[in-house]
Amino acid sequence: MSQLSIAQAAPAAAPHVPGKASVSRTMFLVQATLVPATLYGFWLYGWPAIFLFLLTVGSCVFWEAACIRMAGRLTKPQLTDGSAILTGWLLAMTLPPWAPWWVAVVGGLLAIVFGKQVFGGIGQNLFNPAMVARVALLVSFPVPLTLWVMPLPITAAAAPGFIESIHLIAGTVAIPDAVTSASLLGHAKTELSRGIDLLHSFTGEHAPVISWIGARAGSLGESASLLIAAGGLSMFFLGIITWHIPVAMLLGVVIPAAIGHSVNPARYLDVSAHLLSGGVMLGAFYIATDYVTSPSTDKGKLIFGFGCGFLTYVIRTWGGYPEGVAFAVVLMNSLTPVIDRVTKPRILGRDKRGRPLQIKD
């Protein structure tokens, strides 16, 4: 009989069975889809890239823990949600793979403290933390942030060894000039500004090439474009993201690129150069789809995604920087609340303006 009376602490609201989704699970799955691209990047750029990655993620987790402690919030549930790791991971994917250690540490500080915690922590930030850090780093430290190296597979003879890599990241040894290279977008921009059009600037021996397998200078997330896209597709099939933002963002780049290139190939890069360069793939699947900083309705996502893509194209083509994904995403982040307000879904039984439907006889 004792079992028949159940002492219940407080009346709990329905539903009484929880769904399977949880923040930690979502973050874990996103990270899992990033693994192939990351490992490929590690192989391409060797030990310095691995160190930079670990430093960036570690820095983000450190700053997250520090902020949560200072705010006097419960540490365990917030630290274990995996969001700081993901922020660090994404930031590391956008940095030059051989960047010095302090870029990682400052990047983590900018992303977590100024990009996220000052707004109140997870879910409260207006801008994508990884992109805030990326933009701030690029604007503040343009030289190390634009120093790209050619892929030097970890198994290659010329690749820096473990100890040498520590020196490279610590800054005690400079990156040899022989391995540095301009990124494709950077090269195109520099040459155009020198008055050399695209038809001529890409004919030289050392000119960057479009590589579908990432055999050219770039960040981890850039070199592994195809693996990033594959990871993004698996997120879509896992139901973590919807198709709206990635498709709209890619269209936002592809449409103007196709028009521009067909009008003047000497002035405007072609579609594949745009798609496989810089952060477009990473941006479309992993950055712009950040839940917190993107609109929550389907229509809003389409507008947001297209805006990110189109602004990226505009900045790349006419702006001062060769790459514009980070700027485009941060700009569109600021529009998210407005987009959300104007793209409210229609309520069942009401018209688009929220008035009850008229009964038709």
Partner 1 sequence: MGFMDFFKSSWGVHPDDHKRPAADVTARRIPVPPRVYIPFSQHVGAPARPRVVVGQHVLKGECIAEAQGNISAPIHASTSGKVTAIGEITAPHPSGLPILAVTIDSDGDDSWIATEPIHDPFALAPADLARKVAEAGVVGLGGATFPSAVKLALGLRSRITQLIINGSECEPYLSCDDRLMRDSPDGIIGGIRIMLHATGAKEALVGIEDNKPEAIAAMRKAAAPYSEIRICPVPARYPMGSDRQLILELAGKEVPSDARAADVGVIVHNVGTAFATRQAIYEGRPLVSRLMTLNGGAMANPGNYEILVGTMVSDLIAFSGGYKGEAARLIMGGPMMGSVIPHAHVPVVKGTAGILAFTATEVAEEDARNCIRCGSCIRACPMGLLPLEMVNNIRADKLDGAEQLGLGDCISCGCCSYVCPSRIPLVQYFTHAKGQLWAQERSKLRNESTKKLAVRRTERIERETREKAEAAAKRKADKAAAAAAAAAKKETTGA
Which spans of this chain sit near partner 1 (rule: CB under 8 A)? 3-8, 11-19, 21-23, 25-26, 77-78, 81, 83, 121-124, 236, 242-243, 291-292, 294, 296-298, 340, 344-350, 354, 356-359
CB of 169 to partner 1, least distance (A): 33
Residues listed for the chain: 361
Amino acid occupying residue 240: I
Q: What is the DSSP string of 216-259?
A: SS--HHHHTHHHHHHHHHHHHHTTSS-SHHHHHHHHHHHHHHHH
Closer to partner 1 by CB, 12 or 263: give it: 12
CB of 119 to partner 1, least distance (A): 11
Closer to partner 1 by CB, 9 or 157: give it: 9
CB of 86 to partner 1, least distance (A): 11
Amino acid occupying residue 300: G
Kindly list the distances between the CA atom of residue 168 and the CA atoms of 25, 34, 175, in Å, as whole numbers in the listed order: 36, 25, 7
Closer to partner 1 by CB, 128 or 317: give it: 128
Q: What secondary structure, in 3-state letters, does 304-337 show?
A: HHHHHHHHHHHHHHHCCCCCCHHHHHHHHHHHHH
Closer to partner 1 by CB, 3 or 203: give it: 3
Closer to partner 1 by CB, 220 or 303: give it: 303
Closer to partner 1 by CB, 4 or 209: give it: 4
| Residue whose C-alpha is closest to residue 43's, from 180, 152, 150 | 152
Closer to partner 1 by CB, 21 or 157: give it: 21
CB of 77 to partner 1, least distance (A): 6
Q: Say if CB 337 and CB 293 are below 8 A apart.
A: no
CB of 83 to partner 1, least distance (A): 8
CB of 124 to partner 1, least distance (A): 7
Closer to partner 1 by CB, 78 or 225: give it: 78
| Residue whose C-alpha is closest to residue 328's, from 298, 291, 293 | 293
Sequence-separated (6 or more) residues with CB below 8 Å from residue 187 = 201, 202, 207, 208
Q: Cα 195 vs. chain centroid, distance in angstroms? A: 32
Q: Retrieve residue 266's tokens.
A: 């000497």
CB of 226 to partner 1, least distance (A): 22
Sequence-separated (6 or more) residues with CB below 8 Å from residue 92 = 52, 53, 56, 57, 104, 220
CB of 304 to partner 1, least distance (A): 12
Q: Give the position of tokens 């780049």.
A: 253
Crossing angle between the packed helical segments 23-71 and 101-108, to the nearest 10 degrees: 90
Closer to partner 1 by CB, 121 or 260: give it: 121
Q: Say if CB 256 and CB 196 are below 8 A apart.
A: no
CB of 239 to partner 1, least distance (A): 9
